[in-house]
Amino acid sequence: MPTAATLRAKIEASLAHRIPSALTPVQRIIRPVVATGIQTLDQVLEGGLPVGAITEIVGPECSGRTALVFSFLAGITRAAKVCAWVDVSNALHPESAAATGVDLERMLWVRCGVTSQKNIQQIPKGTFVLPGKYLVASPIIKGLHGGGFGPHPRGEGKGLPDALHNFFRYETKPSEHAESQSKHLAEKSTLVSHPVTDSSRQVARVNMVKPWSRIEQALRVTDLLLQAGGFSTIVLDMASLAAEFSLRVPLATWFRYRAAAEHSQTSLLLLTQRACAKSSAGLVLQMQTAHALQKESTVFTGVQHGVEVTRERFQPAPAKVVPMRKPPQSDRVAHWQSETVWAAQR
């Protein structure tokens, strides 16, 4: 009588052209993970966030994205590891990170699109500085159109429409001949209770410009950090940008980041308002709208957060036998609460 191993080998050999290794269980690739510090979320993720992969944390404003990352970085820096935070909109609050437990001496903060304060003070108020690329002549290419006397005449006006558009875009002063308009602005200015400061002017100027240059700078910095290695975690913070800007990033960029993160064993955390990494993301966490705790009627005591796992690339392989009925949907949602300091002291 043949043994069980012999029967298994015969069955697999007969079904090899249709189902390879039909009776052999698929080996599960064990991926290293790092705990987030939130017990309910670690239980859902079976350990924490994956190492050497892209984890995309998606959600609206005030949904708990930054709080989740702070809790994760607190454990990373507590283990004497180094991390980096690439801030596209210069919106990170380091005091909040330190209060959560993040060791700032082990975190590299890259602020994109920040101009030196010394250079800002030297620029007169209400003026617009034309970018230097429009003021520098193009290099002369010898042997073309006139024997080296310059580029083609059609190329002389290239870039001029954009320069004029940007120049007149920031022109906010009323016309000198529009007396009625100036009187209206003067009356309106008397009703403003908060004066406009230099910092508010600078923020307004930055917000008016489309963030393409800051996004390009952040992507280049992230690429350099991944290629250099040595960072346990890199956070690419694009949460303050609208979805229309983050979705314009080419998919080849995320694929290159995925390969670099797997090679250097770096956890790349991407904060966005909408998922944009597609198949390159190893884990996608959808943050739910946070709700205020109702422990007290007049005192704010904390916030209840919720997160749902919408995509997990390294899931255990499903069974080969497909059931006739649709299996019940698994509950991949975690909730946790964050209380204020004064609520803990009561």
2 located within any domain? no
Using CA atoms of 295, 288, 65, 276 in order, give the dihedral in degrees to the nearest 10: -170
105 located within any domain? yes
192 located within any domain? no
Res 157: pLDDT: 56
Please report, for the domain that includes residue 259, its CATH number: 3.40.50.300
Res 153: pLDDT: 55
Q: pLDDT digits over 162-220, tens only?
A: 655 555 554 444 444 445 545 444 444 433 334 445 544 454 444 445 788 999 999 99
Greatest mean pLDDT among 2-16, 165-179, 192-206, 241-255: 241-255
What's the gap between Cα 52 and its chain centre? 17
151 located within any domain? no
> Which two tokens mark 113?
């699109």
Q: pLDDT digits over 285-331, tens only?
A: 999 988 887 666 677 778 888 999 998 887 655 555 555 565 555 56
199 located within any domain? no
178 located within any domain? no
What is the pLDDT of the chain when averaged over all its residues? 76
Q: pLDDT digits over 37-51, tens only?
A: 999 999 999 889 999
Gyration radius (Cα) of the chain, Å = 28
| H/E run at residue 235 | strand 233-237
**72 exposed, middle or buried (CB, 10 Å; 0-12, 13-18, 19+)?**
buried
CA-to-CA distance for 333 and 308, rounded, in angstroms? 4
Res 11: pLDDT: 83
Domain with 275 in it: 50-114+210-320+329-345
Res 62: pLDDT: 85
DSSP string, 32-88: -EE--S-HHHHHHTTTSEESSSEEEEE--TTSSHHHHHHHHHHHHHHTT--EEEEES
Nearest to 41 by CA among 250, 247, 305, 294: 305
Number of domains composing the chain: 1
Residue recorded with tokens 């042997």: 143
228 located within any domain? yes
17 located within any domain? no
Res 293: pLDDT: 78
User: For the chain, what percent of residues have pLDDT higher than 90?
Assistant: 40
